[in-house]
């Protein structure tokens, strides 16, 4: 194994509180009801446009939804790192992988500028490539992001693993032709991932560390 592609939200970073705060700020500006943490958890994972679409009231006119999305983007761009932090054990995991010469990238459905900013601030010196959704990179489950990350890392897909926490990640890895490890500490429940056919499903960062280091040693 030469490389690992990580999802970001719900896999490396617990971003839920900052996402919720920005969503509810945008909803409040339009006079819409606030959303709970559990609702936001269920809605994330498929890009910010879908997140906002799911949070605004059903039947919201498109121009108002678009304005709400722009309000969210502007607020989140300036407030994305107040409560966000790596899950416990993630930094030692990344350090152990780096010590073994494993190349690491992030492929996320968050907008590209936010992905690059968060990775630079949270994972400087560990994540070699950070790619989010943009005009030239389709959001997952399209394989654009992972395949671009592979090219920039200089890794082959057969020598790479994909790690993510959602159904989108399972589909992305399959579309990219990369083996997937699913984790259950993020934004999707273990039962859902099992029902979707997750072949390798880990419950803790320590389990992921042991799995990845074992594979790196082969």
User: Structure tokens of 196?
Assistant: 């979707």
Give pLDDT, residue 124: 95
Determine the average pLDDT of the residues in 200-214.
96
Give me the chain's average pLDDT, please. Answer: 96
Determine the average pLDDT of the residues in 166-184.
97
CATH class of 16-79: mainly alpha
Determine the average pLDDT of the residues in 6-20.
97
β-bridge partners, 208: none
Q: What tens digit of pLDDT does each residue of 112-156 get?
A: 999 999 999 999 999 999 999 999 999 999 999 999 999 999 999
What positions carry a catalytic annotation?
7
Pairing of strands 160-164, 13-14: unpaired
Give pLDDT, residue 217: 82
Determine the average pLDDT of the residues in 165-175.
96
Quote the CA–CA distance of 132 and 43 in Å, as a whole number: 18
Give pLDDT, residue 46: 84
Quote the CA–CA distance of 174 and 55 in Å, as a whole number: 29
H or E element, residue 173: helix 167-176
Give pLDDT, residue 192: 92
Q: What tens digit of pLDDT does each residue of 24-72 get?
A: 999 999 999 999 999 999 999 888 999 999 999 999 999 999 999 999 9
Determine the average pLDDT of the residues in 163-178.
96
Give pLDDT, residue 218: 74
Quote the CA–CA distance of 52 and 174 in Å, as a whole number: 27
Quote the CA–CA distance of 134 and 164 in Å, as a whole number: 20
At 82, the pLDDT band (50, 70, 90 cuts) reads: very high
- pTM metric for this prediction: 0.94
State percent of the chain over pLDDT 70: 100
Residues 6+ apart with CB under 8 A from 129: 104, 105, 106, 149, 152, 153
User: Structure tokens of 212?
Assistant: 């990845």
Rg of the chain over all Cα atoms, to the nearest angstrom: 17
Give pLDDT, residue 45: 82
Query: Nearest-CA neighbor of 190 among 172, 158, 209, 167?
Result: 167
Q: Enumerate the domain spans of the chain.
A: 3-14+85-216, 16-79
Quote the CA–CA distance of 49 and 218 in Å, as a whole number: 41
Give pLDDT, residue 165: 97
Looking at the structure, give the CATH architecture of the domain made up of residues 3-14+85-216. Answer: 3-Layer(aba) Sandwich (3.40)
How many distinct helices (H) and strands (E) make up the chain? 10, 8
Determine the average pLDDT of the residues in 78-87.
96
Q: Do domains 3-14+85-216 and 16-79 have the same CATH topology?
A: no
């Amino acid at each position: 194994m030469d490389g690992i592609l990580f999802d970001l939200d719900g896999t490396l970073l617990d971003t839920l509180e900052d996402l919720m705060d920005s969503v509810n700020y945008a909803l409040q500006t339009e006079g819409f009801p606030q959303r709970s943490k559990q609702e936001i958890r269920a809605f994330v994972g498929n890009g910010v446009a879908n997140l906002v679409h799911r949070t605004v009231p059903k039947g919201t006119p498109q121009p108002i939804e678009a304005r709400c999305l722009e309000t969210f983007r502007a607020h989140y761009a300036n407030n994305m790192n107040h409560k966000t932090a790596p899950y416990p054990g993630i930094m030692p995991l990344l350090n152990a992988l780096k010590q073994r010469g494993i190349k690491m990238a992030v492929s996320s459905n968050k907008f590209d500028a936010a992905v690059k900013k968060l990775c630079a601030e949270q994972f400087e010196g560990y994540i070699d490539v950070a790619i989010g959704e943009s005009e030239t990179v389709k959001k997952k489950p399209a394989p654009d992001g992972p395949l671009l990350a592979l090219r920039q890392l200089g890794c082959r897909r057969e020598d790479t693993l994909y790690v993510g926490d959602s159904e989108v990640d399972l589909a992305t890895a399959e579309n990219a032709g990369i083996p997937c490890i699913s984790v259950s500490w993020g934004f999707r429940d273990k039962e859902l991932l099992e029902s979707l056919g997750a072949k390798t499903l880990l419950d803790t960062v320590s389990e992921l560390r042991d799995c990845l280091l074992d594979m790196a040693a082969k």
